[in-house]
Structure 1
Amino acid sequence: MSTIGHHDFRMPGAVRFGVNALLTLPDEIKHRPATKLALISDKGVEGAGLVQKVIELLQPLSIPMVVFTEIKGEPTFNLLESTVRMLQQEGCDLVVGIGGGSAMDVAKTTAALLDKADLAAYLSGVSVIESRTIPCILLPTTSGTGAEVTMNAIFGDEEQELKRGLVSPALLPDVAIIDPLLTLTCPAKVTAASGVDAFTHAIESYIAVRSTLMTRMYAEKAMKIFPQHITRAVHHGGNLEARIGMSLVSNLAGVSLANAGVGAVHALAYPLGGKYHIEHGVANALLMPYVFEVTGRACTEQMVQVAKLLQLGDFDKQPYEALDAVVQYMYRLLDELDLPTSLKQLGVDEASLPVLAEQASKVERLLSNTPYNLTYEKIVGIYKKAYSGQ
């Protein structure tokens, strides 16, 4: 039981979940009168025809629209700033974001910054975005980041070669519309990486220092559903039942993440994204077993419960064996889903591991939320083992 005396529990203004939920988007826009709409997405989603589908869906509203799809890979602060400036000049007063975590992070942060003149303090992290006056609606096309229900957005800092997160309740959208049909075009590699990313959110928020009874309920349900759907979603992407299941996993884990936060896996993943531009989900998936081999030692009781949720067995009488079962499951996931199993595979230079560890050790917001004191030396050790592979 959490020792926190009181806590907030935050979610978007509304979460709409279900097949064909996309079709309700025009009604949501009608309820929020706008003079010009910004539609933010990425090249992959545009190529899949989903951006055009949204444009056609909104045409009867006769609202002027600016379409921005210049997001390739994971976004940087420079891209974010240029997007905000452009849409300010265009006079946009409503933002719709459709895509994976990158597109939604750009969309929701842009919406929160459109009414701000001085961006520097917010982008540097010196000031927290205090409010949002521009309506924001998000529609995920992947099942993993949970960005449509979280209060954080991640961007690459090109000068420092690392990733930084902006955190504010202002980043929660007015409406999150989760339509599993939008994920059917998601490629297998992205489905695998984003799906395991969602599992990372669930298990890290479950053991988090800031976890509560309410956040653990969401995390537990996400972990229970995850094994039932992830393999089919990756290897049989047209299976709608699997896509619905993974959309639910992502949403549940995202809510838990938004309120309890995550920990060391994400802290160690950030430098990999900043220096080597390794996709966030891939970095999390690869690092997860190597990190939990160490940090899981402080979570024996939780690991027993996680093993039950994943149907790995009942370890009530052998609680210290639960961690190994969970970690071995994580390793098997990488193999079953054709994800990388070592940093060497991803082109990471072994000589850079101490620098990566130094950067990771500075992500205090996440490390302090991990119930295990990860020293610099231990972080180096985790990176070294992840470099060579199991």
Structure 2
Amino acid sequence: MPVKIIFSKDCILKNKNIFADTGRFPLIITGRTGAKKSGALDEVINTLEKSPYILYDRIEENPKISTAEDAAMMSKKFNCDYIIAIGGGSALDAAKAIAVLAVNNMTGMDLFSKTIDKALPIIAIPTTSGTGSEVTPYSILTVDEWQTKKSFASDLIYPKYAFLDPKYTYSLSADYTISTAFDAVSHLFESYFSLRSTDISRMYSVEGIHSFAKAVPAIENQIFNDLSRRDLMYASMLGGIAISHTGTTAMHALGYSMTYFHNMPHGYANLYFSRPYFKHMMQYEEEKTRYIIKLMGFSDLDTMCDFFLNKIQKPVLDEILCEKYAALAIIQSSIKATPGNLTKENIVKMYKEAGGL
């Protein structure tokens, strides 16, 4: 794991020297409001102590390739030498694409096909507990031409440093806290089941699921305190480390269409498929599935799935949509990492079950 992780209260203020040591002129990447509301942006600016920086605060939810290209042009124009990414997965994933585009003669679409030779160093500061992007070599972008989200990966886009301070999540609403937490736990579940999993990756998954489970009462009551927010940030980080070893599986592949076409938050889109996904896993990985149910503190699969699904507004799908979305899901590489040799017909059934057909 090439990322230096600093997880503590006031970790930025206690490690000001890291910013100066990383470079002289950063491009700060954020969304429109979250970095400011969290307090992280102000702390970073104070830490820079009047050193020059450029702020790009136009990253949207589910960032588009065109946005990354625009920010990379700004970096080139001002000759920025490192990136500070502040925000949720959207800001962090966009920053990774920007770090590559800023120092290579590439288009955004080239990220998915060309070899990456260099990238600007990144300091990642998450303000949500969801994607774990601060510790992964992945960037997920929205590709309108393909009507889906697509990832690219490179060891060069691992952040150099990750500053994790749970206080940056205090400004999040209960609903946003839950949706991002569901993304984190989907990483932990999927990595645990992945055909690429190892004893080491499963160790991270188990520890992360245990930490998430401690926050289940807070999620159920929609009341979060310092401890539950710390548990969720820790789970999110471990989920990122786990999928760095394994990638994701079918849950993510199916969820992309729910986000793209139905505007479902990414975590909710993944757990929308919890029942058909876990029923599939019960068929092919029964021992692992029962262990997860036990780790989560539930008595059976249906009770655990109800816990997730009761928090989610569930779009109703029709057969045409199920066929369309299954065709998009089957081409995702994460399908191949899923136990059970999933076919398009299997995936259509999962969409139908999740969609109420």
Q: Distance in 1 between matches of 2:175 and 2:2?
A: 29
Question: How many residues of Structure 1 are paired with residues of Structure 2 in the alignment?
Answer: 357
Q: How far has the Cα of 1:277 moved from its partner? A: 3.5
**Counterpart Cα distance in 1 of 2:337 and 2:4:** 28
Q: In structure 2, how many angstroms separate the alpha carbons of the residues matched to 1:97 and 1:371?
A: 35
Alignment RMSD (CA, Å): 2.0
Query: Which TM-score applies when normalising by structure 2?
Result: 0.93
Please give the alpha-carbon distance, in whole angstroms, between the structure 2 residues aligned to 1:285 and 1:255: 20
After superposition, where does 1:76-87 map in structure 2 within 5 Å?
76-87=64-75
| 1:370 counterpart = 2:357 | no
Change (3 A) 1:291 1:307: closer
The partner residue of 2:31 within 26, 42, 63 is 42
Choose from 256, 259, 273 the match for 2:242: 256
Counterparts of 1:129 and 1:282, CA distance in 2: 32
Secondary structure of 1:70's aligned partner? strand
SS of 1:73's equivalent in the other structure is coil
Structure 1 residues 273 and 54: alpha-carbon distance in aligned structure 2, compared to 1, 3 A threshold: same
SS in 2 for 1:38: strand
Superposition pairs of residues 273-284 of structure 1, within 5 angstroms: 273-284=259-270
Structure 2: how far apart are the matches of 1:238 and 1:229?
A: 8
In structure 2, the CA distance between the partners of 1:270 and 1:128, relative to structure 1 (3 Å rule), is: farther
CA distance, structure 2, for counterparts of residue 44 and residue 339 of structure 1: 24
* Aligned counterpart, 1:53: 42
TM-score by length of 1: 0.86
- 1:168 & 1:296 partners in 2: Cα distance? 33
| 4+ residue segments displaced more than 6 Å | none
| Alignment partner, residue 123 of structure 2 | 137
Query: Contact 1:14–1:176 at 8 Å: present in 2 too?
Result: yes
Paired position in structure 2 for 1:316: none
Asked if the contact 2:13–2:47 (Cα under 8 Å) also holds between the matched residues in 1, the reply is: no
Which residue of 273, 289, 307 maps to 1:332? 307
> Secondary structure, in 3 states, of the residue corresponding to 1:368?
helix
2:18 aligned with 1:32, yes or no?
A: no
User: Is the Cα–Cα contact under 8 Å of residues 26 and 52 in structure 2 kept in the other structure?
Assistant: yes
- What residue in structure 1 maps to residue 13 of structure 2? 23
1:202 paired with 2:188, answer yes
Q: Is the 2:138–2:157 contact (alpha carbons within 8 Å) kept by the matching residues of 1?
A: yes
The CA deviation string for residues 336-382 of structure 1, in whole angstroms up to 9 with x for no partner, is xx322x232xxx5653221111111111x101111111111111111
Q: Given residue 155 of structure 2, which amino acid in structure 1 is its aligned partner? A: P
Do 1:140 and 1:178's aligned partners in 2 also have CA atoms closer than 8 Å? yes
Which of 195, 198, 206 lines up with 1:212 in the alignment? 198
Contact residue 72 and residue 102 of structure 2 kept, 8 A: yes
Aligned-pair identity (%): 27
Secondary structure of 1:48's aligned partner = helix
Task: Show structure 2 runs of 5+ residues with no match.
Answer: none
Q: What SS does structure 1 have at the residue aligned with 2:306?
A: helix
Instruction: Tell me if structure 2 keeps the 8 A contact 1:188–1:235.
Output: no
Match of 1:356, SS state, is helix
Contact 2:9 2:165 in 1 (8 A): yes
Distance 2:354 2:33 in 1: 30
